[in-house]
């Protein structure tokens, strides 16, 4: 069953498409006004390139952050234009300026994705400025015009975002809901006997990493400004908050399902129970997709599928198990099936509430799952551009410094190639641009981007050739150029191959307007891209920083996050036992939710880096089998912590042995624990609390396996894990 609900609708109502339209309008307005109204096409093109560079920085996110980033990028790009322009008429000086800027702006990758976007925007404008040599007077006019284009785009984008503030929040939540639906569909595959379990688990972890990123983006949008009374009185803002809370609640319900899929598949191989579990989850995923689309379209969701039949069928199967004596023979299996049924039933109720929430009822009440106050800022992502972070990475053992040196070397080769081969001199800047677009800090990302860029450019060249061969009507060509700009910008974060094809088509059509008589421009672009791809691929082997070098620190970060999650869970259980005040209970619940979010982020970083490592040469991969097990066991560990916490909080008096056992497990989530993992206390194995016994056993098993794999890794490496150098967490 596949409920992949309207991919085209998902795209058209997403913030990706909305951002693409906004960026295209901001980019094309300067040349449309300056060129179309006043006839200043040259100035309009310069202003458009200034706006284009700022548009690369203008990615979905809180508009206050985007405004600061765009303004900073505008000032830096103007400085870039000035330096490059002043050096453009001096053959030797331009080499030093270009390579110096390549190093400096590539180093901005230390500030993460945003830093990399600002650095690339500046390098893009530097490359465009290399197109012609400029006199001193032309440089200042060029810089001012570019500054004007950048400032115009910043003001335009900020103004549109202020007007469309609520719409952007809805779109961000919609994307998170779609990602949650995809995750639930992947969980459904775990119950499908036709699917390979290990491959399904790998897809589930990859999907969870993507979902974690989308959830954080939704937090950054939905939670900002929510603490004000005016925001809490707005029906649409209340709907967004309630949907976000319910989205996290349904995720908690499913993650906390203490499922051992291999155990279930083995024991229920001949039963239809697995089929009903799978179909119920697929239907829930379909309902979530409809809710997501309704939020994006500002409509009320309608429920088109019901899981009642699957739940009743599953309930009947469980009754049959009891009749056949399975509850006595396999108490853990029976308890697990009961727990899954309960979770599915509760998840269905949450989805029903989410469908009702899309009505934007003014009488609706805010869900107080977490106290709405200034403490919500702890859930938001923060970006700090500290100079110390940059200077501390100016060393050869820094992955960012190595990346900057690789980019500088590749840029130097591109410049040398265009200088030594006269036929390439006129369009040498395009070779440099291809190098700058392709090269990324990681080898796997560079190789992946290389293939996408090369293939996308060839497709774009073929598309442009077909369009120009079919028609020379300027209105049609301009309309196709605008459409290509919108689609290319919209897909940049979703599908780089397709985005590259449409962006290439848009650029080639733009060059056709500037020089309609040029006959070789398409072939030139294809050749330049091929040469740039070869240079980028060759230089990716220079001073490489392999993903394996990140693995020890990311592994420890994931284990540490699970340890803090377990510590926060114990704190909440203790407040529950002590009948603490309402304030203490809320604070413990807040800390638990924050710890759980941090676990998801740490696991996502670990899993993404591991799967990137798998794309690198086998000789550069590090303990693949052991790390794969650690990734999966950390994922299982967080689920079992959630399951144990849920069970203990539901008991009026949690057994003292259970909390003592959990406290004894904390030291096991430290580097090189000195004592073996303690067994589950015998007092908890008498079968009276199967809902608690099973996740405790799984928890103990996951920790044991993690420590065993770590011991194998460092025994093979002949390295003491306590003495292993920690790689900077800025990665």
Contact 561, 602 (CB under 8 A): yes
Convert 218-234 to b/e letters by CB count within 10 Å (16 or more is b). bbbbbbbebeeeebeeb
| Nearest alpha-carbon partner for 205 in 563, 603, 707, 557 | 603
Contact 693, 647 (CB under 8 A): no
Residues 187 and 194: their CA atoms lie apart, in Å, by 14
- Which residues of the chain carry a pLDDT beneath 50? 1-5, 369-375, 718-731
Backbone angles phi, psi at 225, to 5 degrees: 75, 10
Tokens for 731? Answer: 């990665």
The per-residue pLDDT for 152 is 93
Q: Helix or strand or coil: residue 589?
A: helix
| Nearest alpha-carbon partner for 90 in 134, 154, 139, 143 | 134
The per-residue pLDDT for 499 is 84
The per-residue pLDDT for 567 is 92
Tokens for 647? Answer: 């069970």
Tokens for 172? Answer: 């961000």
The per-residue pLDDT for 729 is 33
Tokens for 99? Answer: 């390579």
Q: Helix or strand or coil: residue 412?
A: helix
Residue with tokens 């309009």: 44
Contact 157, 70 (CB under 8 A): yes
The per-residue pLDDT for 518 is 56
Cα–Cα distances in Å, from 190 out to 175, 193, 265? 23, 8, 9
| Nearest alpha-carbon partner for 546 in 448, 709, 402 | 402
- Residue 395: CB atoms within 10 A of its CB come to 10
Tokens for 351? Answer: 């989805």
Tokens for 458? Answer: 């060839």
Residues 505 and 520: their CA atoms lie apart, in Å, by 15
Contact 528, 704 (CB under 8 A): no
Contact 529, 454 (CB under 8 A): yes
| Nearest alpha-carbon partner for 414 in 395, 438, 440 | 438
Backbone angles phi, psi at 413, to 5 degrees: -65, -40
Residues 499 and 201: their CA atoms lie apart, in Å, by 30
Contact 575, 588 (CB under 8 A): yes
- DSSP label at residue 374: G
The per-residue pLDDT for 722 is 37
Give, for 701, the enclosing helix (H) or strand (E): helix 690-717
Sign of CA dihedral 171, 174, 178, 179: positive
| Nearest alpha-carbon partner for 18 in 151, 174, 124 | 174
| Nearest alpha-carbon partner for 701 in 274, 258, 91 | 258
The per-residue pLDDT for 413 is 92
The per-residue pLDDT for 145 is 92
């Amino acid at each position: 069953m596949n409920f992949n609900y309207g991919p085209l609708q998902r795209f058209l109502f997403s913030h990706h498409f909305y951002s693409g339209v906004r960026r295209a309008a901001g980019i094309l307005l300067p040349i449309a006004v300056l060129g179309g109204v006043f006839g200043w096409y040259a100035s309009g093109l310069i202003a458009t390139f200034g706006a284009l560079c700022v548009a690369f920085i203008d990615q979905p996110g809180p508009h206050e952050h985007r405004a600061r980033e765009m303004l900073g990028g505008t000032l830096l790009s103007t400085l870039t234009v000035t330096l490059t322009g002043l050096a453009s008429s001096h053959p030797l000086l331009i080499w030093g300026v270009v390579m110096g800027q390549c190093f400096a702006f590539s180093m901005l990758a230390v500030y993460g994705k945003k830093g990399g976007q600002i650095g690339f925007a500046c390098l893009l404008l530097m490359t465009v400025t290399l197109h012609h040599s400029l006199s001193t007077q032309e440089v200042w006019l060029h810089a001012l015009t570019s500054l004007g284009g950048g400032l115009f785009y910043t003001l335009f984008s900020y103004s549109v975002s202020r007007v469309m503030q609520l719409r952007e929040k809805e779109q961000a939540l919609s994307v998170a809901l779609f990602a949650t639906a995809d995750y639930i569909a992947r969980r459904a595959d775990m119950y499908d006997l036709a699917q390979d379990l290990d491959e399904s688990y790998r897809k589930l972890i990859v999907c969870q990493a993507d979902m974690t990123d989308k959830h954080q983006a939704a937090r950054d949008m939905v939670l900002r400004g929510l603490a004000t009374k005016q925001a809490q009185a707005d029906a649409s803002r209340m709907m967004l908050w309630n949907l976000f809370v319910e989205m996290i609640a349904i995720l908690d319900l499913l993650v906390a399902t203490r499922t051992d899929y291999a155990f279930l598949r083995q024991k229920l191989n001949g039963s239809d129970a697995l089929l009903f579990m799978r179909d119920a989850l697929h239907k829930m995923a379909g309902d979530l997709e409809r809710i997501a689309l309704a939020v994006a379209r500002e409509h009320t969701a309608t429920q088109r599928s019901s899981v009642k039949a699957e739940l009743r069928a599953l309930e009947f199967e469980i009754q049959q198990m009891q009749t056949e004596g399975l509850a006595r023979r396999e108490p853990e299996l029976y308890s697990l099936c009961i727990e899954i049924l309960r979770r599915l039933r509760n998840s269905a109720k949450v989805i029903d509430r989410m469908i009702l929430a899309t009505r934007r009822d003014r009488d609706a009440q805010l869900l107080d799952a977490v106290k709405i106050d200034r403490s919500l800022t702890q859930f938001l992502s923060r970006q700090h551009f500290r100079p110390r972070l940059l200077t501390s990475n100016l060393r050869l053992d820094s992955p960012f410094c190595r990346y900057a040196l690789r980019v500088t070397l590749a840029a130097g080769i591109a410049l040398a190639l265009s200088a030594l081969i006269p036929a390439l001199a006129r369009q040498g800047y395009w070779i440099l641009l291809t190098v700058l677009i392709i090269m990324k800090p990681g080898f796997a990302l560079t190789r992946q981007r290389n293939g996408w860029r090369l293939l996308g450019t060839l497709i774009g060249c073929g598309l442009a050739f077909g369009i120009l061969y079919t028609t020379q009507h300027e209105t049609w060509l301009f309309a196709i150029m605008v459409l290509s700009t919108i689609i290319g910008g919209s897909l940049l974060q979703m599908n780089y191959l397709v985005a590259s094809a449409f962006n290439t088509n848009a650029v080639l059509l733009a060059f056709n307007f500037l020089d309609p008589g040029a006959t070789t421009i398409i072939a030139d672009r294809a050749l330049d891209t091929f040469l740039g791809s070869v240079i980028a691929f060759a230089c990716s082997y220079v001073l490489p920083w392999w993903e394996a070098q990140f693995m020890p620190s990311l592994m420890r970060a994931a284990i540490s996050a699970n340890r803090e999650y377990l510590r926060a869970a114990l704190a909440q259980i203790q407040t529950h036992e002590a009948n603490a005040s309402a304030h203490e209970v809320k604070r413990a619940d807040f800390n638990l939710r924050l710890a759980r979010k941090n676990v998801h982020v740490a696991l996502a970083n670990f899993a993404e880096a591991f799967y990137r490592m798998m794309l690198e040469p086998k000789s550069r991969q590090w303990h693949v089998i052991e790390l794969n097990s650690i990734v999966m066991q950390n994922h299982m560990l967080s689920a079992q912590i959630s399951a144990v916490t849920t069970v203990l909080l539901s008991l009026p008096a949690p057994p003292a042995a259970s909390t003592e056992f959990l406290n004894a497990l904390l030291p096991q989530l430290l580097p090189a624990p000195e004592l073996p993992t303690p067994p589950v206390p015998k007092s908890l194995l008498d079968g009276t609390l199967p809902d608690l016994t099973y996740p405790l056993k799984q928890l103990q098993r996951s920790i044991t396996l993690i420590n065993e794999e770590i011991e194998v890794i460092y025994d093979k490496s002949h390295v003491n894990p306590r003495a292993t150098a920690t790689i900077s967490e800025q990665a």
